Structure 1
Amino acid sequence: MSLINVTNLTFAYDGSYDNIFENVSFQIDTDWKLGFTGRNGRGKTTFLKLLLGNYEYSGKISASVSFEYFPFKVKNKEINTLDVINDIFPDYLHWKLMREFSLLEVSEEVLYRPFASLSLGEQTKVLLAALFLKENSFLLIDEPTNHLDMTARKLVSEYLKTKSGFILVSHDRAFLDNCVDHILSINKADIEIQKGNFSSWWNNKKRQDSFELAENEKLKKDINRLSNSAKRTNNWSQEVEKTKNGTTNSGSKLDKGYVGHKAAKMMKRSKSIESRQQSAIAEKSKLLKNIEEADSLKISQLAYHKNQLVELEAVSVSYGKTMICNDISFTIEQGDRIALIGKNGSGKSSILKLICGEAINYTGTFRKGSQLKISFVSQDTSQLQGNLTDYAKDNAIDESLFKSILRKLAFSRIQFEKDMSTFSGGQKKKVLIAKSLCEQAHLYIWDEPLNFIDVISRIQIEELLLEYQPTILFVEHDKTFSGNISTKIVNI
């Protein structure tokens, strides 16, 4: 066991006026299985790169271990997988690699195939196996689940459960719950570490948020009481001050010195109450420091004139002579929330594209309602560039509503001024989801919408779909999300 000490860490990117981290201090035990969570854009990947020494910073990071970052960059994907692993770790022992392959259910034959020929899920598992060949290193594992189907996620989670000495960035709640024993969270106002898995951290956070909200309500009531009291007292002292030049009810002249002294005392008391009011307001500003902005989202679903929107009967999809999926049958009716599940490469995205109207080679019966309006969220975010204002205009959506939804999904106002090509993966996916929410449609089709998206935003989107109950067909490997949302499951 050894410690990684972070002391007074402060960092901002060149040209930025905002610090990503400011005087942050904490300790990490190198034996921990540490889950790393926080809103998109808060600096999770940045922190990992600071540990690697990629950026200059103020403060101190001290550790007696080296750091290894996942995913590795593979410069040439056309070479055999064996050569890719040799480039990463030239001195590895073959039997140790086979041990890791066995745990990850990877066949030895992939070593002798070009790395590019492997599926994205296979590539992920191969690189994870290479990562855990590294000894005496603390491992920085950045979002390994994004290319894994539900079955592979469970397998990799069980694999990581047997390991220790890593930071794992993931937004998949079930995945984190199974394989971590501590949570490192980047909050609005600080960074904290708690023992336990994601669910225990989330329950603690909800309790803390509820406490802060209750305290905030009590404080607001106290502020109102103090404000009203100060106003009454101020009015009283002014009325007393006015009597300086008056007379008593009996007609005798008032003692102006006495009245003035009394008014001065009342003014002093009024100022004291006002000071207490300002102190209470100042105290209020210290509360709610870590309560995330998670306002509810809205959706405008169009009603369709028929109950049945789409029907597939014995549909098979092929590319050239290669059969992608075979004999798929299901219907989509108004109000359905259908999870389309299956292994990577099983044809899920092809089915979605067929329904969306792309030219897909298929056999069988496919019927789609006439004038059916579909809103589609793609896996691919590579086309996003330029500013958000032009993007809203180009897609004929309401710019104010579009940006309001992004604000609710934790976009800062300064983000609106940036080019979308500079956004994080999670921020790009939020742009696509916000666009979809702005579109009036009969049917929403979302293809792996949650890749890279933070947990709190996932919960917001869950709550939206449960509240408004739009008709939606989606592919998503987040087991918790799919289980909470779907009314039907279609297994490819």
Structure 2
Amino acid sequence: MSLIHVKNLTFAYEGSYDNIFDNVSFQIDTDWKLGFTGRNGRGKTTFLNLLLGKYEFEETIHANVDFDYFPFPVRNRSSNTLDVIDEILPDYEYWQLSRELSLLKMTDDALYRPFDSLSNGEQTKVLLAALFLKENSFLLIDEPTNHLDLNGRQIVSDYLKAKKGFILVSHDRAFLDNCVDHILSINKTNIEIQRGTFSDWWDNKQRQDNFELAENDKLKKDIKRLSDAAKRTGKWSDEVEKSKTGIKNADFFVDRGYIGHKAAKMMKRSKSMERRQQEAIDEKSKLLKNIESSEHLKLAQLAYHKSRLVELDRVSIRYGDRRVCEDVSFAVEQGDRIALIGANGSGKSSILKLVCGEQIDYEGAVRTGSQLKISYVSQDTSHLRGNLTDYARSFGIDESLFKSILRKLDFARVQFDKDISAYSGGQKKKVLIARSLSEQAHLHVWDEPLNFVDVISRMQIEELLLEHSPTLLFVEHDREFCDNIATQVVRL
């Protein structure tokens, strides 16, 4: 066991006026299984890169361990998998690697196949197995779940549960709960570490948020009382001041000195009230510092003139000689939220593309309603570039609504001026989701919409879908999201 000391960490990217980290200090025990969470764009990957020494920064990070990053960059992806592992870890015992693969429910056969012939899930497991063979290394595991199906996520989560000495970036709540014992969270104004699972951290955060909200309500009432009192005092002092100069031709004596003294005293009291009011307002600004913005999203889905929108009857899909799915039958009725579940490569994305009208070689029957409008969210974000205004215009959506949804998903206004290609993976996914929510459609078809998207945004999207009950056909490997949202499950 050793400690990683982070002391007075301050960092901003070159050319940026805003610090991502500002005088941050904390300690990490290298025996911890540390879950790393925070909203998109807060600096999770940046912090991992700082640990790896990729950037210069103020003050220091002290550690007596080496840091290794997942996913490890593979230079020659056409090499045999065993050669790829030899590059990562030149000195290891074969039996140890075989043991790790067995724990990940893989056979040694995968080692003698080209690395690029493995599925994304298999590649994830192989790289994790190799990295955990390294001694005196603290692993930085960056979103391993994005290429894992539900079963694969459970296997990897159970594998990590038996390990220690890592930071795990993930937005999958069930995955984190199963395999971490501490949470490192990047909040709006600080970084904090808590012992326990993600659910433990979330419960604590909600309690703290509720406390701050209650204190804020009290403070707002006090501010109103002080403001009203200050106005009354100001009015009294004005009236007294007028009485000093505003009485002409009076038949009685006016002690202007007394009245002036009284006016000055009342004015001083008024200023004191105003000062107290400002102090209260300043105190208010210290509250709500870490309450995340999670405003309700809105969805106005078009009503379709028939109850049934789509029907698949004994559909089979093939790519060349390879059949990816067979005899798939289901119907999408208005109000359905159907989750397609299956292993990687079982044809889930192909089914979605087929429903959306893409040209795919298939057998069976696909019936879609006439003039059916579909809004599609793809897994792929590599095509995103340019500014948000041009993007909204190209899809014919309301730019104000589009940007309003992005704001609710924790986009800072400064992000609106950047090229979309410079966004983080989670921010790009939010662009696709916000565009889909802004489109006029009868049916929403979403293919793994939550990859890279932070937990709080996932909860916002869940609330939206539960509140508005749109017709939705989707693929998603976040177990909790599927359990909460799906009204029907189709297993491939």
Query: Quick check: 1:306 aligned with 2:310?
Result: no
Tell me how far apart the structure 2 counterparts of residues 274 and 13 of structure 1 sit (CA, whole Å): 41
Query: How far does the alpha carbon of each residue in 1:90-112 deviate from its partner, in whole angstroms, 9 at most, with x for none?
Result: 00111110110010011101111
Say which is worse superposed, 212-221 or 102-111, in terms of deviation: 212-221
The equivalent residue for 1:188 is 188
Task: Tell me by how many angstroms 1:364 deviates.
Answer: 1.6
The equivalent residue for 1:82 is 82
Opposite residue 395 of structure 2, the aligned amino acid is N
Tell me how far apart the structure 2 counterparts of residues 414 and 276 of structure 1 sit (CA, whole Å): 34
The equivalent residue for 1:114 is 114
TM-score, structure 2 length as denominator?
0.98
Opposite residue 417 of structure 1, the aligned amino acid is D
Q: Tell me, what secondary structure is at the counterpart of 1:264?
A: helix
Opposite residue 23 of structure 1, the aligned amino acid is N
The equivalent residue for 2:408 is 408
The equivalent residue for 1:457 is 457
The equivalent residue for 1:207 is 207
Query: How far does the alpha carbon of each residue in 1:149-206 deviate from its partner, in whole angstroms, 9 at most, with x for none?
Result: 0000001000000001110000000000000000000000000000110001011111
Alignment of 1:21-420 (within 5 A): 21-245=21-245, 252-420=252-420
Tell me how far apart the structure 2 counterparts of residues 243 and 57 of structure 1 sit (CA, whole Å): 64
Tell me how far apart the structure 1 counterparts of residues 369 and 138 of structure 2 sit (CA, whole Å): 55
Sequence identity (%): 73
Task: Tell me by how many angstroms 1:276 deviates.
Answer: 0.1
Tell me how far apart the structure 2 counterparts of residues 208 and 158 of structure 1 sit (CA, whole Å): 31
The answer to whether the 8 Å contact 1:246/1:253 transfers is no
Q: Tell me, what secondary structure is at the counterpart of 1:330?
A: strand
Task: Tell me by how many angstroms 1:215 deviates.
Answer: 1.1
The answer to whether the 8 Å contact 1:81/1:115 transfers is yes
The answer to whether the 8 Å contact 1:246/1:254 transfers is no
Change (3 A) 1:390 1:245: closer
Query: How far does the alpha carbon of each residue in 1:410-448 deviate from its partner, in whole angstroms, 9 at most, with x for none?
Result: 111111111111111111111110110010100000000
Change (3 A) 1:112 1:256: same
Q: Tell me, what secondary structure is at the counterpart of 1:371?
A: coil
Tell me how far apart the structure 1 counterparts of residues 462 and 289 of structure 2 sit (CA, whole Å): 24
The answer to whether the 8 Å contact 1:12/1:21 transfers is yes
Q: Tell me, what secondary structure is at the counterpart of 1:192?
A: strand
Q: Tell me, what secondary structure is at the counterpart of 1:446?
A: strand
Opposite residue 421 of structure 2, the aligned amino acid is S
The answer to whether the 8 Å contact 1:247/1:253 transfers is no
Opposite residue 320 of structure 2, the aligned amino acid is G
Tell me how far apart the structure 2 counterparts of residues 402 and 87 of structure 1 sit (CA, whole Å): 46
Opposite residue 182 of structure 1, the aligned amino acid is H
Task: Tell me by how many angstroms 1:254 deviates.
Answer: 2.9
5+ residue gaps, structure 2 = none
Task: Tell me by how many angstroms 1:255 deviates.
Answer: 2.2
Tell me how far apart the structure 2 counterparts of residues 234 and 365 of structure 1 sit (CA, whole Å): 79
TM-score, structure 1 length as denominator?
0.98
Opposite residue 145 of structure 1, the aligned amino acid is T
Change (3 A) 1:10 1:246: closer
Tell me how far apart the structure 1 counterparts of residues 111 and 466 of structure 2 sit (CA, whole Å): 45
Task: Tell me by how many angstroms 1:320 deviates.
Answer: 1.8
5+ residue gaps, structure 1 = none
User: Where does structure 1 differ by over 3 angstroms across 4 or more consecutive aligned residues?
Assistant: 245-248
Query: How far does the alpha carbon of each residue in 1:129-154 deviate from its partner, in whole angstroms, 9 at most, with x for none?
Result: 01101111111000000000000000
Query: How far does the alpha carbon of each residue in 1:349-391 deviate from its partner, in whole angstroms, 9 at most, with x for none?
Result: 1110110001111112221111100000000011011111111
Change (3 A) 1:245 1:54: closer
Opposite residue 395 of structure 1, the aligned amino acid is F
